[in-house]
Amino acid sequence: MQSNADETRPPEESPATALSLPSRIVVATAAGGIAVAALVHIAMMFLHVAPSNTVTKAHGAAVSDYVYPEYEQNWKLFAPNPLQQNISVQVRAEIRPGDGGSARTTGWTDLTALDGRAIHHNFFPSHTQQNELRRGWESFVGSHDAQNRPNGTRGELTERYLRRIAMGRLGAEWTAHGGTVDRMEFRSVTTPVGPPPWSSEKISDKPVYRVLPWWPVTVDDVPEGASK
């Protein structure tokens, strides 16, 4: 038998009704905003991976601006022939001493390896560490011919982009003892990834080098705060 106290107890309120009217408005607005953002994100990703259509033809630039670089989709892992090689981008420089002596050439620095070490054991690596050098090199390869000649303005811009990457990362080290960076040279080292032990596939493990010409370094190639 219930007591009179139980009979007179007011019904329990739900969490939503327990909130004041302004609080409920804030919660409803936040929930609506999250739902709209999720729908926009899904729509953008769908348009990005979907075949060319009327919407992407009219608004393709807006879709690309939203997707890159945060949400880039790369299907190479699932392609019939996924990438089976490692590509390292290396650079060296010619330093001219401030006293007018003979120029000296530095050794090769593996920029890709530096990025790899920065990402290793890093749960939240930056997009600069992951993509800046890789995308810059891919852009260079796509905008130059087999003789490393640029195919128009885009090719010239990618050359400057690579020089700025190198100067931003190594300029202070190169000029730590005085002098200026006169010119620099890039190369890529492509090493095939060996097949698994159970595979009968035979591939060469010999690295392939792509050596670029020496590029003169100008003031425009030096990022703000870096040393030439």
The pLDDT averaged over each successive group of 10 residues in the chain (228 residues) is 55 64 87 93 88 85 81 65 83 88 92 92 84 92 93 92 95 88 96 83 86 94 73
Residue 14 pLDDT: 61
Residue 84 pLDDT: 78
Q: What is the pTM of this model?
A: 0.66
Helix 133-142 / helix 111-119 crossing angle, nearest 10 deg: 140
Q: CA-CA-CA-CA torsion for 44, 47, 50, 54, nearest 10 degrees? A: 180
